[in-house]
Structure 1
Amino acid sequence: MKLIKIILFVAIAAIIYSFLPMIKFMTIPAASKEDNNQSNIEKLKNNQGAYFSFIIFGDNHAGFSINDASTIKEIWHMNREDRFRKIPIDFVLSVGDVSLNGARKHFEAFKKLQKLIKYPVIAAIGNHDSSLLFNEYCGIKEFTFVNRNSFFIVLDNEAGELSEKQFEWFESKLKEGTRYAHIFVILHKPPFDPYQQEWYNMDNSPWAYEFRKLCAEYRVDMVFTGHKHMFKSQKFDGVEYIVTGGGGMITEMPEKDGGYLHYVRVMVNHDYVTYEVRKVTPPLWTQFIYYFWKEAVYWARNFYGSGYIFNVNRKHEPARVKQLNDDEYWVINKNPAVE
């Protein structure tokens, strides 16, 4: 009995200790609004050489305590990436959804998180980010920048698809990027489904097809996206597509399928590009509140099937598809408006 009490006391103390960074977070000042995309791009202009690294993360959804606590822990790891000074970390890129729901207080929380990151932060806009407030707190939404031997294109697909005007601009920038050794593209929503649980497949949508073909034609090195709260890497026509949506928001997918907190470190060495996924364990108190139970639900579901917890209609789809003849299948899968 005494041993049980000791173990219980230690566990409670550890949970409370894991919450302390949140208390400190509440007292720190937010980064200035002038510390935005434009000003941080300017900081990169004098970087020289073809040997460097940068960090990608996304979907931190600032403004909710569980999310912010996880992002704070990730930032602690990010800030240690250059501790051996073997390769310079030039900047951090966010692939969007920097705020929980686009409220001003959520952007204020993001600016606090940005204050903790010791590298320049450049952000894309996500579908949870208010366009006006993003412009006020983070700066421009669609732009390019150069760092050393690499060309970066940041797109705004907050609404989902890209317009024809955006495609024209995108292709003009891809042509401009051919003067550099590497081209990287950043946008929030991926042009494919990293975790296919819906009957409509994004891989075959017109804008996604056109986007992937352009990236292949101009030999883009990597495309970074978020939106899905998970990690997934997939190649289309020789181009690497990375979904990195584990920046703090609670993950819905099972951990074994990529539903874990993480960020990605990309290394560029002259003509060579590689990356490493940095998996981050959630703070203990968030594991107790959410993550343990999420995995337990998936474990239980595996007795009769696995899938996306919150898609209540998923289990009906396979039976429905099996009952369709060829003509009906074509209509259902080619026309999203048909139910």
Structure 2
Amino acid sequence: MYRTVSVGFLLSVSLLLFLPFLGSAAQDETRLDQNDSHRIRTIEGPINEIKFPLSSRPAIVQQGCPFQIKVDLSSLDEELLNAGCWNVTLSTAYDEYVESYILPVSSIEVKGGLFNLEAMVPKEGSIDLYNLTVAVTREGETIEDSQPRAVSVVSKIKDSFTFIQVTDPHCWDIRTMLVSPGKTFGEKWENFTKSEAYNETIREVNLIHPDFVLLTGDFIGGPFPINIPSLKSLEDQYKTAYDLLQRFDVPAYLIPGNHDGYFSLSADGLKLYEKYFGELFYSFDYNDAHFVMLNSYDWPYLRRSFINAGGKIGEDQLEWFEENLESAQKAGTVFVCLHHDSLEEGLHGFRGKDPFFDLIDRSNVTMVLAGHVHKDSERAINDTVFLTTTSCATTLSYDRHLRILGEVLNYLTLSFPREEPNPLKYDQYWGFRQVKVKDNGIESYAYGEGGRSIPTYRLSANYSEGREKALIKSELENPLEVKVELHTEDENYRIIGGEMLWEREVDGVKILTCRVEVPPNEQVEVEVVEVAPMPKPVPLTLYRVILLSSIAIVLLVYYLLKVRKRRMEGKKRES
């Protein structure tokens, strides 16, 4: 968002009074086949029976450890289902070679109409991101639900870890289309629905492969006139945002932005957000770090329109926020994530600052991460670092150097022909922020001075056809660690150019995850090659046979020589 409102947006207010919203929500579909042995459940959205974990709020679980699953079956007899047979399955997400596990359920508890299951990840479970399926069967009746990318199995919850913040992709936003369509979205017009700049960000995040990613809002454009020229409904825009989320192959945690919460004549953006992504605010822990994910567009629905882009946290959420921070007093680091910049003033600013900042100050919050303003910024108040991160895909804020030219250049600067999709010659650029935490402290969060984020379109990986080789190219000024996945069917192999982190085998194919250190402005090739097998060691039992036989032969020879010597001595005495 910007500090000022475009003339086009102001003029469109009158149009909104006369033009109904074009496009309607998609009709519901049935989830289960219609037959006598299955209950028919109408799809309300991607989130159905499973309420946690979700693709937008996953569980990160260590091998051999339990995790909680929350299932909504409040419309059925709780006692009946509590005695039933539960089945929990994990299957690798988007892998060419799928691996599945059936998890034992150690306990079932009913709370507030939700079934709380505790399932156990096997110790031998492969390190990967998994789809979750939960089914319960009782007297021939089966209820089943799935959540993609909902469980991440890791070898260890680390003391030192890395996460990435991505914000403001603005899919189906007219301003996103203005940003050099041929290079931003690809050569085909239909690629507008799958923002190429956002896809590039996803590819690079997957390559760096942090422990998890934080997505801080504005996933869609919103209602008319922001959705010109597509005129896509809010429902269709959310479907696009949901589909793009599934392209991350690392755990992702989401919160809404103002564009996600706009209210139109036919739909409520925040209701659709809950339908596709779940709760509007929540918290989670990773080791000793505590993350609070807030909804900063907490306005009554009549105030939620594109003419009000400012931020606010309502009283109920603020009360929850205070209680949540009090419960996290022993956390080593505390991160607060929200869409709006809490230090921003003006039309796009944050209302109700005082109680928010009072809680931040009293609770020793380590860092506040935000988006919304489409630019990088870094400020410190007392012991708290306040950061905003640039947009990954739409128009940027050039206010500081192009203020005289006004709003027109803010929207159109990047529309002119360019030699590259994300030039660094301007004050701002597309990017994402990488934060490294080490021993309960912040090791790094900036690519350069001023709290800059990592620019996109400067990191790539190309694989050979059999995926036994990868070429990683970096045009960044800083060294970077990436992870690549190589395949081999060889029994004996070694990695050249990288370090193997873990291996799993499916259908005779070894899938090797390798860490690669990429120097600044260089390319690195990593490859898995076959090595000659070592000679097979002689079994220990054979060694024993040879040793004992040798000793026996030596003793026999010694005995025979001794006997011969005595005979010769006897013959000498006789003569």
**Please, what TM-score do these two structures have when normalized by structure 1?**
0.64
Percent identity between the two aligned chains: 21
**Match for residue 57 of structure 1 among 158, 166, 185:** 166
- Equivalences for residues 218-229 of structure 1 within 5 A: 218-229=363-374
Distance 1:189 1:91, change over 3 A: same
Q: What residue in structure 2 maps to residue 278 of structure 1?
A: 454
Q: What residue in structure 2 maps to residue 184 of structure 1?
A: 335
Output the CA distance in 2 between the equivalents of 1:265 and 1:141: 24
Q: CA deviation at 1:115?
A: 2.1
Q: What residue in structure 2 maps to residue 80 of structure 1?
A: 207
Output the CA distance in 2 between the equivalents of 1:170 and 1:133: 23
Whether the aligned pair in 2 keeps the contact of 1:63 and 1:110 (CA below 8 Å) is no
Give the letter for the 1:275 counterpart. Answer: Y
Output the CA distance in 2 between the equivalents of 1:201 and 1:116: 30
- Equivalences for residues 166-185 of structure 1 within 5 A: 166-185=317-336
Q: What residue in structure 2 maps to residue 156 of structure 1?
A: 295
Output the CA distance in 2 between the equivalents of 1:268 and 1:149: 11
Whether the aligned pair in 2 keeps the contact of 1:63 and 1:107 (CA below 8 Å) is no
Q: What residue in structure 2 maps to residue 146 of structure 1?
A: 285
Aligned residue for 2:316, secondary structure, equals: helix
Output the CA distance in 2 between the equivalents of 1:248 and 1:242: 19
Aligned residue for 2:388, secondary structure, equals: strand
Q: What residue in structure 2 maps to residue 98 of structure 1?
A: 219
Deviation track 1:220-256 (CA, whole Å, cap 9, x = no partner) reads 1111111111111111222111111412122142677
2:271 matched to 1:126?
Answer: no
Q: CA deviation at 1:202?
A: 4.5
Q: CA deviation at 1:275?
A: 1.3
More helix by share: 1
Distance 1:42 1:70, change over 3 A: closer
Deviation track 1:280-334 (CA, whole Å, cap 9, x = no partner) reads 249xxxxxxxxxxxxxxxxxxxxxxxxxxxxxxxxxxxxxxxxxxxxxxxxxxxx
Q: Which structure has more RCO (C-alpha within 8 Å, separation ≥ 6)?
A: 1
Q: CA deviation at 1:127?
A: 0.8
Q: What residue in structure 2 maps to residue 165 of structure 1?
A: 316
Give the letter for the 1:187 counterpart. Answer: L
Distance 1:189 1:140, change over 3 A: same
Whether the aligned pair in 1 keeps the contact of 2:58 and 2:253 (CA below 8 Å) is no
Aligned residue for 2:207, secondary structure, equals: coil
More strand by share: 2
Distance 1:140 1:51, change over 3 A: same
Output the CA distance in 2 between the equivalents of 1:192 and 1:271: 25
CA RMSD of aligned residues (A): 2.8
Output the CA distance in 2 between the equivalents of 1:280 and 1:221: 27
Aligned residue for 1:227, secondary structure, equals: coil
Distance 1:45 1:213, change over 3 A: farther
Q: CA deviation at 1:39?
A: 2.0
Output the CA distance in 2 between the equivalents of 1:173 and 1:94: 20
Give the letter for the 2:46 counterpart. Answer: K
Q: CA deviation at 1:53?
A: 0.8
Structure ID, larger Rg: 2
Output the CA distance in 2 between the equivalents of 1:181 and 1:227: 28
2:33 matched to 1:33?
Answer: no
Aligned residue for 1:211, secondary structure, equals: helix
Aligned residue for 2:336, secondary structure, equals: strand
Whether the aligned pair in 1 keeps the contact of 2:58 and 2:252 (CA below 8 Å) is no
Q: What residue in structure 2 maps to residue 233 of structure 1?
A: 378
Output the CA distance in 1 between the equivalents of 2:247 and 2:58: 20
Whether the aligned pair in 2 keeps the contact of 1:62 and 1:110 (CA below 8 Å) is yes
Whether the aligned pair in 1 keeps the contact of 2:289 and 2:440 (CA below 8 Å) is no
Distance 1:118 1:210, change over 3 A: same
Give the letter for the 1:114 counterpart. Answer: L
Moved more, 42-51 or 167-176: 42-51
Distance 1:36 1:96, change over 3 A: farther
Aligned residue for 2:211, secondary structure, equals: strand
Whether the aligned pair in 2 keeps the contact of 1:33 and 1:136 (CA below 8 Å) is yes
Unaligned runs of 5+ in 2: 1-44, 63-155, 178-183, 186-194, 224-233, 261-268, 300-310, 402-423, 447-452, 459-575
**Please, what TM-score do these two structures have when normalized by structure 2?**
0.39
Q: CA deviation at 1:117?
A: 1.2
Unaligned runs of 5+ in 1: 1-31, 83-88, 283-339
Give the letter for the 2:374 counterpart. Answer: H
**Match for residue 241 of structure 2 among 100, 104, 110:** 110
- The ranges of structure 1 where at least 4 consecutive aligned residues each deviate by more than 4 angstroms after the TM superposition are 34-37, 64-67, 200-203, 254-258
Distance 1:170 1:261, change over 3 A: same
Q: CA deviation at 1:45?
A: 4.1
Moved more, 100-109 or 172-181: 100-109
2:280 matched to 1:265?
Answer: no
Aligned residue for 1:264, secondary structure, equals: strand
